[in-house]
Amino acid sequence: MYSGHITIAHDAAPILSVLTETSRIAAWNPAFSSFEGSGPAVLGHPYRVMVRGIAKAVLHYTQLDPNSVRYTISGMGSTEEGEWTLESADGETAVTHTFKHSGPILMLMQPAFTHVADWRLERLRDEVERASAVGGATS
């Protein structure tokens, strides 16, 4: 299990918007070289993705609510199950990202994922800031 935590100086709504607007995910998460989607995420819908330009996979959102976004990415005999949790207070949101892997390829790569949750959180924060500056995130 990998985990990271960050506080973002925004309410949960613009953060949730970045996490669930499928047309924007590949722009802020470089793990996805492509993400076939447009519009808000749909629970259970199979989104075809390309991971790092080499692995085809399918992402399913398994929970979408104001405080939690859960997903599963499956491909090439490996799976990532992850969650983003959001707790807002006083105009700030504490965001925790956790994920775990199964399958031989990802298990072999375990050391490479040590800092990934923190990196994803930093990119999420930066995308929320960028979107807010240009009026792209909804509140």
Give the Cα separation of 97 and 139 in Å (integer): 21
Residue 138 lies in a domain: no
Q: What is the domain extent for residue 117?
A: 2-133
Question: What parts of the chain have a pLDDT lower than 70?
Answer: 104-112, 136-139
**What local confidence, expressed as pLDDT, does residue 138 receive?**
46
**What local confidence, expressed as pLDDT, does residue 37 receive?**
87
**What local confidence, expressed as pLDDT, does residue 139 receive?**
42
**What local confidence, expressed as pLDDT, does residue 12 receive?**
96
**What local confidence, expressed as pLDDT, does residue 76 receive?**
83
**What local confidence, expressed as pLDDT, does residue 30 receive?**
84
Residue 52 lies in a domain: yes
**What local confidence, expressed as pLDDT, does residue 54 receive?**
82
Residue 6 lies in a domain: yes
Q: Are 92 and 119 in contact (CB under 8 A)?
A: no
CATH number of domain containing 7 = 3.30.530.20
Domain count of the fold of the chain: 1
Prediction pTM value:
0.87
